[in-house]
Structure 1
């Protein structure tokens, strides 16, 4: 694993460690609440919102590493080509290269024929991104943009439930242990990205 990938995974584990005392406090409070006994596998709405804020931080670390690696790989490719036309094309599209996950992944595929959507861990990560967007832009609820396409929204809800979460009244309910699980998922994704792109970059 490259140094940058190790640093990204370490940052994710630091966030996970930050969550641990919060999780212990939630567990202790819930143990004293009779109202929570029947629903012990899930956090309350307010606790879920708190947990989602940590999840958003985890996903942001994965995004920062991935987007940075894609920029580096594409820039290295353009520099190595020595082609003024390729450089001009890159400069024209540079600002939109990593404006979204879709544009970043498509850039890597189009410029270097590497599609990260095919890695094993991407299936879970792409729905963690949906959870992050709901946490960051919807306060723990799915945003209007996420709900706009009803068919796609139903698919998102189904997959998120398959991942262990619940959706109640439009609010995302988080299962206990989610932060530890998703930290591992994101570290696995970072390692897969690193394995596929390390040789394409100028900086290891």
Structure 2
């Protein structure tokens, strides 16, 4: 029986940030629910609850993406040692930029550079939700609507509801997102350690 791999410092820090983000969201949600609207104000059309949930969702995905990108580039930079040689620096700049300019590029780089193949399925479903929030203000973008069947399938498989073209986040979704992010960070960190022994 093999011993479980202990998370490296960067993975621990990323998981801690995820927990802090979710904790802060919960605190702010309680404060918002306690606040009583003034009777003289008209019923608001602005859904502050959804905006707060979307902000928390985006932050958790961003933490996870940042960890994945930084872990990949730090590992590759150590092996490639681009400093001190202009050609190596130019090659490194092009390769590293290409590898992290898109989320799919990062996944491809893990596979082609290190044969590291974590399970990307759940995070990729959540990335579609992230894209709708970040680029459509909570609504499916034009590009997503052009591929509605496959995009809707990814979103609903992640147990996130669509109301027409709009993303509807529930509190339970945020806990699930945190769990998916922690699982991916832990998996990547473990796979990197297994390949290299690097526990940073």
TM-score class, shorter-chain normalisation, is 0.7 to 0.9
Corresponding residue of 2:111: 109
Q: 2:173 aligns with which of 172, 175, 178?
A: 178
List gaps (5 residues or longer) in structure 2: 1-6, 36-45
The structure with higher relative contact order (CA 8 Å, sep 6+) is 1
Q: Partner of 1:97: helix, strand, or coil?
A: helix
User: How high is the TM-score relative to the length of structure 2?
Assistant: 0.78
- CA shift in 2, pair 1:182/1:86, >3 Å: same
Deviations 1:75-99 (A, max 9, x none): 233249xxx9887643432322201
Q: Deviations over 1:37-80 (max 9, x none)?
A: xxxxxxx9652233111100000000000000111222233249
Residue 24 (structure 2) aligns with: 18
Unaligned runs of 5+ in 1: 30-43
Cα drift, residue 28 of structure 1:
6.5
Partner of residue 196 from structure 2, selected from 190, 196, 200: 200
* Change over 3 Å in CA distance of 1:64–1:157 after alignment to 2: same
Question: What is the distance in 2 between the residues matched to 1:55 and 1:194?
Answer: 22
Structure 2 counterpart SS, 1:140 = coil
Match of 1:3 in 2: 9
**Residue 124 of structure 2 corresponds to which residue in structure 1?**
126
Distance in 2, matches of 1:160 and 1:107, equals 25
Aligned in 2, Cα 1:183/1:133: closer, same or farther, shift over 3 Å?
Answer: same
CA RMSD of aligned residues (A): 2.8
Are the equivalent residues in 1 in contact too, given 2:57–2:177 (CA < 8 A)? yes
Question: Is the Cα–Cα contact under 8 Å of residues 165 and 173 in structure 1 kept in the other structure?
Answer: yes
TM-score by length of 1: 0.76
